[in-house]
A = this chain, B = another copy of it.
Amino acid sequence: MKLKPEQTSFHAHHSPMGAYATLTFGMFGASGGLAAEAALPGEGGLSVGFIDSDGVINELPLLGIQEDDRSSYVDQIEEGAAKETHRLIPAAEIKRTYDWATDRFEAGNLKIEIINPFYSLPDPACSSYEDQRRASCPAGFIRLSFDNRSGSEDTTVFCGFPLKQRERWRLFESDGMVGGIHRDSMGFATCESAKPFVHWSIEDALRFPNEADPFLLGDTAGLLFDVAAGRTGEFLIAYGFYLGGNVTYGKPMKYWYSRYFQSVENVLGYALEHAEYYLDEAVARDRELHVAELSDAQKFLIAHATHSYYGSTQWFDDGGKPRWVVNEGEFRMMNTFDLTVDMLFYEMRFNPWTVRNVLEQFVAEYSYYDELFLPDHPGKMYPGGLTFTHDMGVANHFTPDGQSSYEVKGLDRECFSFMSCEQLTNWICCAGVYFAQTDDFQFLEKHRQVLLECFASLLNRDNPNPEKRNGIMAFESSKTWPGGEITTYDSLDHSLGQSRGNTYLAGKSWASYLALNHLFKQLGMADEADEAYVAAERCAATLVAAYDDQLGFIPAVLERGNESAIIPAIEGLIFPHEMGLEAMVSFNGPFSDYIYTLQKHLLNILKTGVCLYEDGGWKLSSTADNSWMSKIGLCQYVARQVLNISVDPRSDEAHMDWQVKGSAAYACSDQFVSGKARGSCYYPRIVTNILWLDEQCGTCGKANKVSEEQMR
């Protein structure tokens, strides 16, 4: 959609799928640029513009405005004509259109589009070599155009890629392509008629006597294109990445694309050769979002989330087998499970096989068994059970089996403690949704024993003594001894941060029991199914009973007089809903009390000063000034689709503002403190909002599939 003038300046990932690589730019005057495996935007940028009839360089402000590194070579930089012939195009003259797969900047006769096709990654288990090759190709496209129809002189347009200072390029020309490559790991190329350059900047490239004579000490390489007077020039450039060989540590793996490509030249050549296919896919995605009956702000949030998601994805070749990893944005933790469970909906829509892949990684490598204790009587250990680690490593360093990079023993409900109970519910809920949407019985059969162990483990965390269970976690993992577990909301206060007695986690426990009920039924295990159902009833009953009429909501933590109000009490409803267990989330179903209670809960807390900010943005907890965009997207969907609660569209505008202003420098972020990104920047998790695409319209509750007609 077209962005308002005050909303045009923010960074966005522009990434291929599964390559953990990006061309990040869009915040005017801020650095970014090509980068692989980076936690945050880089120190380069994009140098795009044209030379006007006065010889002035007109450049979009898509790179960091900073001194170049010339001064270390030369005593004194000559100031002079050059400075006066270089004009950064002011923001007011720039129009930006931000679609699902295309980011477009227009200024006068200049237009640049960055195009990142995405689509369902074909399951490696059952697709062709060519399909795999095409889907894994780590490239994106830039379409640069200049309308010189009213011009009386030929002009030059340029597209350059500044790197971090002191990084260098080589130029290449082969197979009808010309381009530049940095460290054999990233580069760009075109098949059009173009003059390549390398210099410190476009300004220097044009100022030096031999215009495009490569000066290989420069950190900016790029292409110059001529546009004749009276004509329009349109030029397609591919940019791409290639990290060959083992790129992970602890467990050595390669990128999946390295099965199909031998070099970055190879990647670029393939991308350009198959450009039509890729550009068509991008058009299809753009149109798909365009025609959805959602507000512009909602469409923006979906598009922005998607851009950041792919920027964090890694599709590995683990000794011939595919392995899917999503990095945790700026934190770079790998397959953080409490992100996986949120990105589930996106991946189920596009690549269900990645969900199975990650779940099986957790079972095979990143699970562990613990014991349990009661915090008030830490002296005695009780049987615990199977559960899963928080993550699988960090910054390409896989942790040893059964360990995460994040979790530290012995902490009491503070950041970096264990999330044993929550990760257990995450595995169960993901497995439930995965099976319900795929009917993958093979998966189910294979993990029959895991499901049984998960069930036992979850029950024990309520209470190892069946007589004393109330459906809600009360026992702590021995990993935390003598402390206590936390939830994914690790940087919030206890209202969402602590696990035991937590209403948010209780909701996911309820969902887990229902998922187990469903899965056991499918496996023909009627007794276990019944037992799981009873557990769900127990949990719901406790939660219903915990509703405090005086407060008007269920307190966040069911202990010690806690009085916080939290939106994510409703979060667990998403799982039975997505599993198609509509009866379970119906106002007329067996859990109607629970559903009515949560409706009441949410209606009462969605108030400014409680769980709404002044700008209409959602505040996850009444007692913490810290809100997470991924969870908001999910809970808004639950509110509309399950609880029949309209959502004020002002919130979408607010959330869009948080992203484009509060997180301008960090692309799409998750965690916001009073509308400013803080931690969880450059993050993949926000794609929970893919759920909105299933809604008839943005604020009411009916399923919507885009019709064929609308697509045309």
A interface residue numbers (CB < 8 A to B): 39, 72-75, 166-170, 181, 183-184, 208-210, 213, 215-217, 244-246, 249-250, 252, 330-333, 393-399, 403-406, 408-411, 414-416, 483, 490-492, 626, 678-679, 681
Question: Is the Cβ of A184 less than 8 Å from the Cβ of B249?
Answer: yes
In the assembled complex, how far is the CB of residue A312 from the closest CB belonging to chain B, in whole angstroms?
A: 14
Contact partner, A215, options B217, B249, B408, Cβ 8 Å: B408
B249 and A216: CB pair below 8 A?
no
Chain B hits for A678, CB < 8 A: 72
Q: What are 6 A-to-B residue pairs whose CB atoms are below 8 Å?
A: A73-B490, A73-B679, A74-B414, A184-B252, A208-B411, A210-B410
Contact B397 A170 (CB under 8 A): yes
Residues of B near A168 (CB, < 8 A) are: 332, 394-395, 397, 405
Residues from chain B with a CB closer than 8 A to the CB of A403 are: 216
| B residues in contact with A394, CB < 8 Å | 168, 216-217
Q: Which residue of B lies closest to A409 (CB)?
A: B210
Counting from the closest, the 7 A-B pairs by CB-CB distance are: A216-B405, A209-B410, A168-B395, A72-B679, A74-B415, A170-B397, A184-B249
Known: A75-B491, A399-B170, A626-B75. Contact between A213 and B183, CB under 8 A? Answer: no
Nearest CB of B to A483, in Å: 8
A680 (CB) vs chain B CBs: closest residue: B72
The answer to whether A216 and B170 touch across the interface, beta carbons within 8 angstroms, is no
B210 touching A166, Cβ below 8 Å: no
Kindly state the separation between the CA atoms of A525 and B272 in the bound complex, as whole angstroms.
59
Q: Which of B74, B210, B252, B333 contacts A491 (CB 8 A)?
A: B74
- Bound-state Cα–Cα, A217 to B331, Å: 9
Among A72, A168, A216, A483, residue most surrounded by chain B Cβ atoms (within 10 Å): A216
What separation, in Å, do the CA atoms of A416 and B246 have in the docked complex? Answer: 38
Contact, CB under 8 Å: B209 / A166: no
How far, in whole Å, are A414 and B678 apart by their CA atoms in the complex?
48
> Which residues of chain B have C-beta atoms less than 8 A from A73's C-beta?
331, 415-416, 490-491, 679
Say yes or no: A408-B72 contact (C-beta < 8 A), given A249-B184, A416-B215.
Answer: no
State how many angstroms separate the Cβ of A197 from the closest Cβ of chain B. 12
Number of copies of this kind of chain in the complex: 2
A399 to B215, CA, bound (A): 11
CB distance from A325 to the nearest CB of B (A): 15
CB pair B166–A395 under 8 Å, yes or no, is yes
Residues of B within 8 A of A213 (CB): 408-410
Contacts of A405 in B (CB 8 A): 168, 215-217
The residue of chain B having its C-beta at the shortest distance from the C-beta of A214 within the complex is: B403
Q: In the complex, are the beta carbons of A170 and B249 less than 8 A apart?
A: yes
Question: Which residues of chain B have C-beta atoms less than 8 A from A209's C-beta?
Answer: 408-411, 483
Contact A250 B170 (CB under 8 A): yes
Complex CA gap A396/B170 in Å reads 10
* A397 surroundings in chain B (CB, below 8 A): 168-170, 183, 216
For the complex, what is the distance from the CA of A500 to the CA of B132, rounded to whole Å?
61
Contact A216 B399 (CB under 8 A): yes
Cα separation A166 to B37 with both chains bound (whole Å) = 12
Q: How far is the CA of A241 from the CA of B655 in the complex (A)?
A: 46
Q: With A and B bound together, what is the CA distance between A406 and B183 in angstroms?
A: 18
With A and B bound together, what is the CA distance between A338 and B196 in angstroms?
A: 29
With A75-B491, A215-B416 known, 9 other A-B pairs at CB within 8 A are A72-B681, A73-B331, A168-B394, A168-B395, A184-B246, A208-B411, A209-B408, A216-B393, A244-B245
- Which residue of B has the minimal Cβ distance to A398? B170
For A245, the closest partner residue in chain B by CB is B245
Of A74, A246, A330, most buried by chain B (CB within 10 Å of CB) is: A74
Among residues of B, the one whose C-beta sits closest to the C-beta of A250 is B170
**Pick from B245, B249, B393, B491: contact of A181, CB under 8 Å:** B249
A190 to B517, CA, bound (A): 53
Q: In the complex, are the beta carbons of B166 and A217 less than 8 A apart?
A: no
Shortest beta-carbon distance from A399 to chain B in Å: 6
A395's contact among B39, B167, B215, B332, by CB below 8 Å, is which?
B167
Q: For residue A170, which residues in chain B have a CB less than 8 angstroms away from its CB?
A: 249-250, 397-399
B408 and A210 form a contact (CB under 8 A) = yes
Which residues of B have CB within 8 Å of A416?
A: 73, 215, 217
Alpha-carbon gap, A331 to B69, bound state (A): 10
Closest to A393 in B: B216
Q: Which residue of B lies closest to A400 (CB)?
A: B170
Q: How far is the CA of A170 from the CA of B393 in the complex (A)?
A: 9
Q: How far is the CA of A686 from the CA of B381 in the complex (A)?
A: 66
CB distance from A250 to the nearest CB of B (A): 5
CB neighbours (8 Å) of A39 from chain B are 166
Nearest residue (CB) in B for A198 is B405
